[in-house]
Amino acid sequence: MTFNHWLILAVLGAAFGASFAFNEVLLVQYGPLTVSAVRVALGAVGCWLWLRASGCASHIPLRAMPGIALLGIFQYAAPFAFLPVAQQHITSSAAGVANAMTPLAVVVVSQFWPGGERITAAKIAGVSLGILGIAALTVTTSDGVGSDPRFVIVAVMAPVCYGIALNLTRHVLCDDPLVLTTWAMTLGALAILPFALGLDGLPPLPTATSFSAFAVLGFGLTTVTFVALYMILPKVGATNLSLVTFIAPISATAIGYFALSEEIGLQQLLGAALILAGLAVIDGRLPRLVWRRVRRRTA
């Protein structure tokens, strides 16, 4: 990859990590389902504008609609709701670290999915490290620093949704990833809107702060990031693209600490380290690097 590609990946990872801080800002005024509904809806609007500006055809077969609706629920509506729900009781940085479980959740879900990828020793080791990391995140120290364990588990439901969505994608009848994302966001927003209105009630008019936060979260951190992901995917490959998973929790932790004055306990750093180690094992780069160094020393 070129330096520019590395830079884009770093920016995308930082952007995904920043979304947790914007959730934190919006939860002051809005319910978690409202935050999810507005984010997905604005993301969809941004994608439709991009499709129109680029002249891309947006037609999809009618028979593909049910599958795309399910994808919209599991890829966008549900995880974007689970995370704000959890963030009412855990820090944004803890939510960002828990969300890094996504590749590990994909491994687990794939084992139970018809035709899914089979597990390997490396995947078992990676998932085990991730589980230990989540366990560390649920620990509350004697001075009260830590997150509510129940809501750490709620945050982990977001990666589980992503794991289901990834397996659903293989069965959806749509070849253009951007068109698929646009329709999925649209149907996901329509699916969660009734729940947001029913459980959170009618949202209040936004203040200047919440209006700006929604605009950045919906258009900047949803539309732009997903459009950029699909634009860069053919150039860097899926394996390199997965590196954003390593960057997002670091970004979420740094922003939570410096911008939101969140406390970071030792258990949170340990949890992040274990989860990132699990990702590295599944990714394969770290084991290969260690193996090459061992071979050089023994040669």
pLDDT per residue over 156-202, tens digit each? Answer: 999 999 999 988 887 787 778 899 999 999 999 999 999 999 999 99
The total domain count for the chain is 1
* CA-based nearest residue to 67, from 146, 139, 137, 167: 167
Give dist(CA 175, CA 190) in Å, integer: 23
Say which residue the tokens 């009412």 belong to: 88
Give dist(CA 159, CA 184) in Å, integer: 17
Quick check: 139 pLDDT over 60? yes
Give dist(CA 157, CA 101) in Å, integer: 10
* CA-based nearest residue to 111, from 98, 120, 102: 120
Q: What percent of the chain is modeled with pLDDT above 90? A: 49
Residue 142 pLDDT class (50, 70, 90 cuts): very low
- Name the region of 115 (left: φ>0; alpha: ψ -120 to 50; beta: rest): left
On whether the CB atoms of residues 130 and 71 are closer than 8 A, the answer is no
pLDDT single digits (tens) 251-286: 998 999 999 998 887 878 888 899 888 888 877 766
- Cα distance between the two ends of the chain: 30
On whether the CB atoms of residues 245 and 279 are closer than 8 A, the answer is yes
On whether the CB atoms of residues 238 and 166 are closer than 8 A, the answer is no
* CA-based nearest residue to 266, from 111, 92, 141: 141
Quick check: 295 pLDDT over 60? yes
Distances, alpha carbon 142 to alpha carbons 98, 139, 150, 171, in Å: 22, 10, 18, 48
On whether the CB atoms of residues 216 and 208 are closer than 8 A, the answer is no
Distances, alpha carbon 242 to alpha carbons 103, 172, 210, 220, in Å: 9, 22, 31, 20
pTM of the model: 0.88
Tell me which residue range forms the domain holding 236. Answer: 3-298
Residues 255/142/102/113 CA torsion (nearest 10 deg): -160
pLDDT single digits (tens) 105-121: 888 888 888 877 777 88
